[in-house]
Amino acid sequence: MISRRNWIRYSGAGVAASFIPTSHASQGRVVVIGGGFAGASVARELRRLNNALSVSLIEANAIYTACPLSNMVVGGHRKISQQQFSYAALSADGVNVIHQPAVDVDPERHLVTLRDGNTLNYEKLILAPGIDLDWQALQGYDKTAAELLPHAWKAGPQTTLLRDQLRSMREGGLVVMSVPKSPYRCPPGPYERASLIAGYLKQNNPRAKVLILDSKDSFSKKPLFLSAWQSLYGDIIEWQGESDGATVTAVNAENRTVSTDFETVQADVANIIPPQKAGKIAHLAGVTDRSGWCPIEPVTFSSTLQPDVHVIGDAAIANAMPKSAFAANAQAKLCAVQVTRLLNGESPVHGKLINTCYSLVAPDYGISVAGVYQPGEKIWTEIDGAGGVSPADASRETRAVEAAYAQRWFDNLTTQVFA
Partner 1 sequence: MQATEPDPATAVSVQACYGCHARPGTEANGLVSFSARSALEITNKLKAYRSGELTSTVMNRISRGYSPAELESIAAHMAELTANEAPCSR
The one among 104, 261, 364, 411 contacting partner 1 by CB under 8 A? 411
Nearer to partner 1 among residue 140 and residue 371 (C-beta): 371
Nearer to partner 1 among residue 47 and residue 333 (C-beta): 333
Q: Work out whether 400 is an interface residue with partner 1 (CB under 8 A).
A: no
Q: Work out whether 385 is an interface residue with partner 1 (CB under 8 A).
A: yes
Number of residues that bind partner 1 (CB under 8 A): 37
The one among 202, 216, 283, 341 contacting partner 1 by CB under 8 A? 341
Tell me if 159 sits within 8 A of 66, measured CB to CB.
no
Q: Work out whether 363 is an interface residue with partner 1 (CB under 8 A).
A: no
Quick note: the x/- pattern for partner 1 over 168-187, rule CB under 8 A, is --------------------
**Secondary structure letter of residue 243 according to DSSP:** G
Residue 164 is which amino acid? Answer: D
Q: Work out whether 161 is an interface residue with partner 1 (CB under 8 A).
A: no
Q: Give the whole-angstrom CA distance, residue 97 versus residue 40.
A: 10
Cα–Cα distances in angstroms (integers) from residue 71 to residues 116, 152, 186, 280, 419, in the given order: 35, 9, 12, 25, 22
The one among 225, 326, 365, 418 contacting partner 1 by CB under 8 A? 326
Q: What Rg do the C-alpha atoms of the chain give, in angstroms? A: 22
Nearest distance, CB of residue 133 and partner 1, angstroms:
27
Q: Work out whether 86 is an interface residue with partner 1 (CB under 8 A).
A: no
Helical H segments across 269-375, by residue range: 280-284, 325-343
Nearest distance, CB of residue 356 and partner 1, angstroms:
5
Q: Is the dihedral of CA 133, 139, 143, 146 positive or negative?
A: negative
Nearer to partner 1 among residue 3 and residue 86 (C-beta): 86
Nearer to partner 1 among residue 263 and residue 346 (C-beta): 346
The one among 353, 360, 361, 362 contacting partner 1 by CB under 8 A? 353
User: What DSSP element (H or E) covers 126?
Assistant: strand 124-127
Nearest distance, CB of residue 20 and partner 1, angstroms:
27
Q: Work out whether 310 is an interface residue with partner 1 (CB under 8 A).
A: no
Q: Work out whether 387 is an interface residue with partner 1 (CB under 8 A).
A: yes
Q: Work out whether 370 is an interface residue with partner 1 (CB under 8 A).
A: yes
Q: Give the whole-angstrom CA distance, residue 338 versus residue 172.
A: 54
Cα–Cα distances in angstroms (integers) from residue 261 to residues 9, 236, 265, 297, in the given order: 55, 24, 11, 39
Nearer to partner 1 among residue 196 and residue 334 (C-beta): 334
Interface with partner 1 by CB under 8 A: which range of 56-64, 88-96, 201-209, 381-389? 381-389
Q: Work out whether 413 is an interface residue with partner 1 (CB under 8 A).
A: yes
Q: Work out whether 321 is an interface residue with partner 1 (CB under 8 A).
A: no
Nearer to partner 1 among residue 9 and residue 352 (C-beta): 352
DSSP E strand boundaries for 216-363: 237-240, 248-252, 257-260, 264-266, 269-272, 276-278, 296-297, 302-303, 309-311, 353-362
Q: Give the whole-angstrom CA distance, residue 318 versus residue 312.
A: 8
Q: Give the whole-angstrom CA distance, residue 312 versus residue 307.
A: 15
Nearer to partner 1 among residue 174 and residue 417 (C-beta): 417
Q: Give the whole-angstrom CA distance, residue 121 versus residue 2.
A: 10
Nearest distance, CB of residue 416 and partner 1, angstroms:
6
User: What DSSP element (H or E) covers 64?
Assistant: strand 63-65
Positions that interact with partner 1 (CB under 8 A): 326, 329-330, 333-334, 337, 341, 349-354, 356, 368, 370-373, 383, 385-388, 390, 398, 401-402, 405, 408-409, 411-413, 415-416, 419
